[in-house]
Amino acid sequence: MTGVLRLAWLTLRARKAGFVGAFTALALAFVLITACGVLLESALRSGAPTERYAAADVVIAGQQRITPAERVLRRLRALPGAEKVTAEVSFPAVVITDGREIVGGPEGGPSLGHAWDSAALAPYTLEAGRPPATDDEVVLDSSLADRAGARPGSRLKLATTGPPSVYMVVGVARSPLVPTRQAALFFSPRQAVRLAGGKQPVDAIGVRARSGVSAAELAEQARQAIETLYSADASDASNASDQAGELYASDVLTGDQRGEFEFADSPDPGEALGSFAGTFGAISLFVALFVVAATLALSVQQRMGEIGTLRAIAATPRQIRRMIASETLLVSLAACAVGCPAGIALAALLRAVLADRGLIPEYFPLHVGPTTLLTVVALVVTAAQLAVAVSARRASRVHPTQVLREASTPPPRTGLIRSLAGIVVLVIAAVALAPVARGRGSQDTGAADSLVMVLMLGVALLGPLAARVGSTVLGAPIARLFPVAGFLASAGTRAQYRRLAAAVTPLVLAISFSGTLLAVPELKTRAAETQNSQRLRADHVVRSSGIGLPADYAAEASRIPGVQAVTGLMPVSTTLTSRHEGDTQTHGGQGYAVDEETLPTLLDLDIRAGSLARLRRDTVALGERRAESLGVRVGDTVGVDWEDGTRSDARVVALYARDKGFADLVLPRELAERHSTDPLDDTVLLRTSPTADDNAVQKALQALTAQYPMADPIPRAAYDEARHARQESSNSLSLLLLGMIAAFTAIAVANTLTMSTMERTQEFAMLRLIGATRRHVTRIMLWEAGITVTLAVALGSLVCAAVLVPIALALTGSAVPAVSAGHVLAVLGGTTAFGLVTVLFTTRLALRTHPAQAIGTGR
Amino acid sequence: MSAQDPGPMRGHGPGTSAASPEATVRLDAVSKTYGKGAAAVQALRDVSMSFAKGSFTAVMGPSGSGKSTFLHCAAGLDRPTSGHVRLAGADIGGLDENALTVLRRERIGFVFQAFNLLPSLTVEQNITLPLRLSRRRTDREWLARILKRTGLETRVTHRPSELSGGQQQRVAIARALVTRPEVVFADEPTGALDSTTGREILLLLQESVRSLQQTLIMVTHDPVAASYADLVLFLADGQLAGSLPSPTPDTVAERMAQLGNR
Ligand SMILES: Nc1ncnc2c1ncn2[C@@H]1O[C@H](COP(=O)(O)OP(=O)(O)O)[C@@H](O)[C@H]1O
Ligand SMILES: [Mg+2]
């Protein structure tokens, strides 16, 4: 051990109590950041291995179907490295049991029908029975067969792209991976093509490499082949119209990319976890480092006397800095030993909670890798060193003789540079928030909620100044009204405004984060619900589960007596392109195909330009925001890339405002059907005539589920309720986040308040020796805590308002955020109570030391 | 060694347990034991003494001899294990924590080696702090006299951090005088000061006691400081080990050396 490190070690051993605060803050930082790191790594490593393409070294697939498939297949077969080229077609297909239950993909995974010849891509191998030969024969994967209770010879009702019909199970095939994440149903090639729709449907092409050819080499060959095909096509097309551009750069996929494509439409557990861990990580990294920096600064400041003594016995400033750095390093490592394992445990707990809420599957594994742990340790240790370096520098430069006075009162001026930096940071936050506020009613809240962090930084920098002003404003009347305890508390906070600032900052942090984490989802939920109920004019809503509703369902529903208007909402996934003056804009377009006749009766989309009456044939209505990003207006033409791999032009006939949480575009069903690969409605909306008996209609709809078990009809009110419940449960994740941040900030608050109260044991002793009772001291401390908390509540409310008002403006157009009074009370009252109780408790603790002991024996 | 003798230079009887109407502080067979069982330390053993009104007594002894313990017991900061302490006319054994605090506030002054002042208060606010705590009005005339005597008139609005160590001790003394207490306890009041400043402080203490007829009990290990007292009491191993009237630095140092050799 070097001299300085040894000194640091001895100091630590001798003054364990003095380092408890720093240790606690650092250990908590390790807990939070380790937990995030582990979750993030697990999310990143969740790369889904392919199931269906395990036997294909290279897969060619894209967002749209591959067209013209014949030419692409020909090119691929001609590749020198290709051993076997297999085309695959996919379409939704599920089993309907006798009990009218839908059996599809496991854990929300896909359930797809294919042609038997593409079973070789996995390969699915027959476990029993034989391949499907006729149009009404099917082979199920073994897991689906188990769940559906089917064996070769069973007759099963299947729902696919058309009305449900009965098939004969002729075989059961084993999938290459068990357990599977999807269900596969294999039809005869002819029937598969029929169900998939289109002339020569190909959704993906798998290529097996010749022996000696690597997947990468084969992929390269395939890429070139497709590129030449594309450019040849493009030069052909140069004289023709847009319509000729039929071939789209399909991706050439290898390795885990194959699985990504395979499960692109099913919820990606890694992504859900990744986004949670990302948000959680960003906030907790900020909060943790913030708290660590504040705590370390406080602990150095408390040791000014000791540092002065060391300086007096001729320690150089450099030695002081190194000693403090070494101490911090030792405390960090000790905190790491406790915090990292606890962080891993927290990650495991969070994983369990997330799995419990269905956000990730039960089986989702946790990865605890050395890289993550080392990164976390390096990050926290470095951050602690940086944080303490500033205070250490200040401390080491103190002149030995100055120390005793330095310790008793801070230098009279607040740092000018610090205040200026704080103002600059706040201005930056204001500049970022202004456009959100200006976009009244735009529904666009941007990154407003994440600006809490920037605002907090500004508040922390301006903390001493705010504490000075605040203690004067609050202290003066208190001192006048309460000449004993109030006066002393006021004098104490005014003189020790830095200590006040150190206590206020974590409280502001607690209020700001819990306030916004609680209120922002609340505001967003309310706005979304308002927009939803304004948009929806239906009296009954039929949602699909397991598989979409075939078009016939809407037709049958419209025949129910009393039903006035019906439309299905058929999801359409497109890519939209606008072109003007050589400037091309391309954006994804998630839309709904509707019955254009009845649409206005069932949905009030808030038309801002054009008219839905003109929604006919090759036209679309665009949501305002998509129209804006594409730069198109009513009357303009947009290029639409369809799911089936074709492209056509459509004229924009209307722009609507209520697009949030709904659709980028709305188009006539007839147009969409021509290009859809699975023309199924995910929702059907009904409106009854004013005289109709809604119970009878609901009964009739229920009766229809015998034929269409995927239909789930509910009356409007129940639908709204269910939607609300769904919103709530999606908010529960942010509540989880809130809980953890609140717990952490609470500990930080308790930590600083305890540190700054215990520091005053001698002051209390002196007061008591000259005749202050315990009650006097307790009251003084409560008044001080009152000033601290009031200031924190004021600043915290300002931070919350700075974020919530722009969000409220953007969402509702009103500047008053509709936050429930209970939440406001919980955050402000909770913080206040917590602050006061902590101070009360620690004051009691500090008063337990006998005053004569605390002061008399001196040092 | 008559306890009835009211003279400021006399009237202290080490080992005297006789009742004295003039004694403001009296200890009767006071013992104090810290800890229990094998770890028990007997810091005071059967100590009896009384301090007459208007006297200035120094209590001396080697380190660990029980000086601080004596002061704590005499001032009612700590309760003796056995024996009685009478302070300003009251047997403090019968007083509860609050009554003791009020007694301290109104009848007793304290001056310590360090940590005497509240850094957030001005000189004047520090001096009048005991009055504020008992919600009494400040006697401006009296305050002016104290300020004048302690030489702090020009410093009233300063904060402790702006004062020298000697000035800070003056503020502590001024505070100990502001309530016109009957007894002032001082624990090494010059311990943190240089010798010149220490002298000034001791003279100030000596003079205030005289003019206000206060009882001053000072614990110190410095023979020079002790020589300002009328009488020096010596403690060794928690027991009274003699007294020295009209002390000089040399005679005190000599006695201390003897105690150290025993
Ligand atoms: N709180 C305590 N607990 C245990 N022993 C103590 C305590 N305070 C003092 N002592 C012991 O009592 C004896 C007298 O201490 P003290 O009165 O402080 O002596 P002095 O002030 O003369 O140095 C010493 O041996 C000391 O160790
Ligand atoms: Mg002592």
pLDDT digits (tens, 9 = 90+) for A740-760: 888 888 888 888 888 888 778
Note whether B245 and B53 are within 8 A (CB): no
Which string of b and e fits A238-257 if b means at least 16 CB within 10 Å? eeeeeeebebbebebbbbeb
Would you say A463 and A504 are in contact if contact means Cβ atoms under 8 Å apart? Answer: yes
Residue A65's SS3 state is: coil
Does the pLDDT at position B8 exceed 50? Answer: no
Query: Closest partner residue to A487 among B68, B117, B132, by Cβ?
Result: B132
Nearest CA to ligand 1 atom 3: B34
Chain B residues with beta carbon closer than 8 angstroms to that of A780: none
Query: Using the beta-carbon criterion (under 8 Å), do B72 and A765 form an inter-chain contact?
Result: no
Closest Cα to atom 17 of ligand 1: B66
**Which of B91, B164, B188, B178 lies closest to B133 in space, CA to CA?**
B178
Residue nearest to atom 5 of ligand 1 (CA): B34
Of these ranges, A5-9, A305-309, B2-6, B253-257, the one predicted with the greatest mean pLDDT is: B253-257
pLDDT in tens, A520-533: 888 888 888 888 88
Cβ-Cβ contacts under 8 Å, A763 against chain B: 115, 118
Partner-chain contact B161 A409, CB within 8 Å: yes
- A847 vs A173, which has greater pLDDT? A173
Residue to mutate (ligand 1; options B33, B41, B239; most atoms within 8 A of CB): B41
From ligand 2's centre to the CA of B188, what distance in Å? 8
> What ligand is nearest to the CA atom of residue B59?
1
DSSP 3-state assignment of A454? helix
A-contacting residues in B 35-74 (Cβ below 8 Å): 68, 71-72
Q: What is the pLDDT of residues A726-739, one digit of tens each?
A: 777 777 777 777 88
Taking contacts as CB-CB distances below 8 angstroms, the residues of chain B near A405 are 161
Mean pLDDT, range B156-160, rounded to an integer: 89
Helices (H) and strands (E) in chain B, counts: 9, 10
Q: How far apart are CA A437 and CA A810, in angstroms?
A: 6
- The rounded Å distance from CA B68 to ligand 1 centre is 7
The continuous run of DSSP H or E covering A54 comes out as: none
Report how far residue B88's alpha carbon sits from residue A712's, in angstroms, rounded to the nearest whole number: 91
The band of A857, judged by pLDDT with boundaries at 50, 70 and 90, is very low
Residue of A nearest to B219 (CA): A856
Is the pLDDT at A314 greater than 70, yes or no?
Answer: no
3-state secondary structure A474-529: HHHHHHHHCCCHHHHHHHHHHHCHHHHHHHHHHHHHHHHHHHHHHHHHHHHHHHHH
**Which of B129, B167, B218 should we substitute to test contact with A (largest number of A Cβ atoms within 10 Å)?**
B129
What is the whole-number distance in angstroms between the Cα of residue B80 and the centre of ligand 1?
13
The secondary structure of residue A672, as a DSSP letter, is H
Instruction: Tell me which residue of B51, B48, B39 sits closest to B3, measured CA to CA.
Output: B51
> Considering only alpha carbons, which residue of chain B is nearest residue A407?
B161
Please choose from B32, B34, B237 the residue to mutate so as to test ligand 1's pocket, defined by most ligand atoms within 8 A of CB.
B34
User: Is B133 touching A (CB cutoff 8 A)?
Assistant: yes
Helix (H), strand (E), coil (C) string for A165-196? EEEEEEEEEECCCCCCCCEEEEECHHHHHHHH
What's the confidence (pLDDT) of residue A201?
86
Backbone angles phi, psi at A105, to 5 degrees: -70, 145
pLDDT tens, residue by residue, A396-412: 776 665 554 434 444 54
Q: How far is ligand 2, taken at its centre, from the CA of residue A700, in Å? A: 96
Answer yes or no: are the C-beta atoms of B58 and B218 closer than 8 Å. Answer: yes
Q: Can you tell me whether residue B40 is helix, strand or coil?
A: coil
Q: Across all residues in chain A, what is the average pLDDT?
A: 84
> Are B121 and A491 a contacting pair at CB < 8 A?
yes
Q: Which residue among A483, A492, A858 sits closest to B120, beta carbon to beta carbon?
A: A492
What is the biggest distance separating any 2 CA atoms in chain B, rounded to whole angstroms? 56
Contact A537, A605 (CB under 8 A): no
Tens of pLDDT, residues A600-634 = 888 888 888 888 888 888 899 999 888 888 888 88
Higher pLDDT, B106 or B4: B106
Q: Is the pLDDT of residue A9 over 80?
A: no
Within 10 angstroms of residue A808's Cβ, the number of other Cβ atoms is: 26
In the block, which residue shows the tokens 């290279």?
A58
Q: Over the stretch A64-78, which tens digit does the pLDDT of each residue have?
A: 888 778 888 888 888
pLDDT at A414 over 70: no
Nearest-CA residue for ligand 1 atom 2 is B34
Given an 8 Å threshold on Cβ–Cβ distance, is A771 in contact with B115? no
**3-state DSSP call for residue B29?**
strand
Instruction: Please report, for residues A34, A41, A47, A286, A346, the alpha-carbon distance to residue A274 in angstroms, rounded to integers and kept in the order given.
Output: 14, 8, 12, 18, 16
Q: Which atom of ligand 1 is nearest to the CA of B62?
A: 22
For chain A, the residues whose C-beta falls within 8 A of a C-beta of chain B are: 405, 408-409, 483-484, 487-488, 491-492, 494-496, 762-763, 765-774, 776, 850-852, 855-859
The band of B68, judged by pLDDT with boundaries at 50, 70 and 90, is confident
pLDDT band at A155, cuts 50/70/90? very high
Taking CB atoms and an 8 Å limit, are A763 and B115 in contact across chains? yes
- β-strands A94-96, A607-610: how paired? unpaired
pLDDT of residue A14: 62
> What residues does ligand 1 touch, defined as CB less than 6 Å away?
B 34-35, 41, 43, 61, 63-69
CB of A491 within 8 A of CB of B125? yes
Predicted confidence at residue A413, as pLDDT, reads: 57
Instruction: HSE, CB side, 13 Å, CA atoms: give it for residue A66.
Output: 27
Do A771 and B133 make contact, defined as CB atoms within 8 angstroms?
Answer: yes
How many contacts does A have with B, using Cβ atoms within 8 A? 94
Question: Which residue of chain B is at minimal alpha-carbon distance from A859?
Answer: B114
Q: Which of A175-184, A196-205, A246-255, A429-438 has the lowest mean pLDDT?
A: A246-255
**Quick one: pLDDT at residue A113?**
93
The pLDDT value given to residue A445 = 72
Pairing verdict, β A619-623 and A647-656: parallel
Q: Over range A511-538, report the average pLDDT.
A: 86
Strands A137-141 and A183-187: antiparallel
The whole-number pLDDT of residue A406 equals 39
Mean pLDDT calculated for residue range A824-840: 91
Contact in structure between A229 and A72 (CB atoms under 8 Å): yes
- Residue A651, classified by CB atoms within 10 Å of its CB into exposed (0-12), middle (13-18) or buried (19+), is middle
Strands (E), A535-664: 540-544, 549-550, 563-580, 583-594, 607-610, 619-623, 637-641, 647-656
- Select the residue from A471, A764, A769 to test the B interface by mutation, using most B Cβ atoms within 10 A: A769
Calpha distance A292→A336 (Å, rounded): 13
Instruction: Say how far apart CA A601 and CA A608 lie, in whole Å.
Output: 17
Confidence of residue A61 (pLDDT cuts 50, 70, 90): confident
Confidence of residue A364 (pLDDT cuts 50, 70, 90): confident
| Span from the CA of A522 to the centroid of ligand 2 (angstroms) | 63
Number of residues written out for chain B: 262
Centroid of ligand 1 to alpha carbon of B45 (angstroms): 12
Q: What's the number of CA atoms in the CB half-sphere (13 Å) around residue A653?
A: 16
Mean pLDDT check: name the lowest of A58-62, A278-282, A310-314, A356-360: A310-314
How many secondary structure helices (H) and strands (E) does chain A include? 26, 25
Per-residue model confidence (pLDDT) at position A409:
47
Q: From the list B98, B116, B161, which residue is nearest A405 (CB)? A: B161
Check if the beta carbon of residue A678 is closer than 8 Å to that of residue A548.
Answer: yes
Taking a C-beta distance cutoff of 8 angstroms, is the pair A640, A647 a contact? yes
| Amino acid identity for residue A632 in this structure | V
DSSP for residue A852:
I
Higher pLDDT, B11 or A123: A123
**Tokens linked to B109:** 């002054």
Confidence of residue B1 (pLDDT cuts 50, 70, 90): very low
Listed residue (A147, A140, A138) closest to A97, CA to CA = A147
Beta bridge mates, B42? B33
- Model confidence at A13, in pLDDT bands (50, 70, 90)? low
DSSP symbols for A782-828? HHHHHHHHHHHHHHHHHHHHHHHHHHHHHHHS-SS----HHHHHHHH
For residue B244, the Cα-to-chain-centroid distance in whole angstroms is 18
Q: What average pLDDT does the segment A128-145 reach? A: 92
Question: A639 to each of A242, A596, A675, A691, A842, how far by Cα in Å?
Answer: 8, 20, 14, 44, 69
Query: What's the whole-number mean pLDDT along residues A115-137?
Result: 91
- State yes or no: pLDDT of A242 exceeds 60: no
Q: What is the mean pLDDT of chain B?
A: 82
Q: Which of A763, A771, A852 is the closest to B130 by Cβ?
A: A771
